[in-house]
Structure formats: C-alpha cells, structure tokens
C-alpha cells in the first residue's frame, strides 16, 4: 500500500493500482469510517461505511482492501 496522505482521521493512498480514500466522521456517534476504493478505470470497488467493529484507521485500511477484494491474488477476484 502506498500512502499519499495519512492522519488519524484521513487516509489517501493506492493499493494494486486502486485509489483508497478513507475519512473518519467525528460527528457520528461511533466515529465511523467512510471508505471509497476506486479502480484505475474509475469503477467503484467499495463505497460506503465500514462495519461498526472497525475502530481504528489501520482496521479501516484492512477493511478497504478486504471489501474491495484487493487481498485476492491477481486473476482470482
């Protein structure tokens, strides 16, 4: 995973050529994470709130990769 920008509330980066954008919404009761993963062709692979059990930015990054099926070997997704 390549990091372009990372704070405790924001992540911008790429993984396997896909753009990953994560924001923590501090106004939500559980400080939920919104995840957007975009393929190089512009298609969305993940666009939505992370599950409630995702509590940290590291967990949100793992959820982005898992939810967009970027953890699958090439050709298997």
Does the residue 77 lie in any domain?
Answer: no
Does the residue 63 lie in any domain?
Answer: yes
Q: What percent of the chain has pLDDT over 90?
A: 75
Does the residue 74 lie in any domain?
Answer: no
User: Total domain count for the chain?
Assistant: 1
Quote the pTM value: 0.87
pLDDT value, residue 19: 98
DSSP string, 46-68: EEEEPPTT--SHHHHHHHHHHHT
pLDDT value, residue 72: 79
> Average of pLDDT values for 54-58?
92
The overall average pLDDT reported for the chain is: 90
> Average of pLDDT values for 32-59?
95
Range of the domain at 55: 2-67
Identify which has the larger pLDDT, 74 or 73.
Answer: 73
pLDDT value, residue 36: 98
Does the residue 75 lie in any domain?
Answer: no
């Amino acid at each position: 995973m390549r990091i372009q920008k990372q704070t405790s509330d924001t992540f911008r980066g790429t993984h396997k050529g896909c753009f990953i954008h994560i924001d923590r919404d501090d106004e939500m009761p559980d400080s939920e994470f919104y995840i957007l993963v975009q393929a190089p062709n512009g298609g969305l692979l993940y666009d939505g709130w992370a599950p409630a059990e995702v509590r940290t930015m590291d967990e949100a990054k793992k959820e982005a990769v898992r939810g967009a099926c970027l953890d699958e070997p090439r050709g298997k997704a």
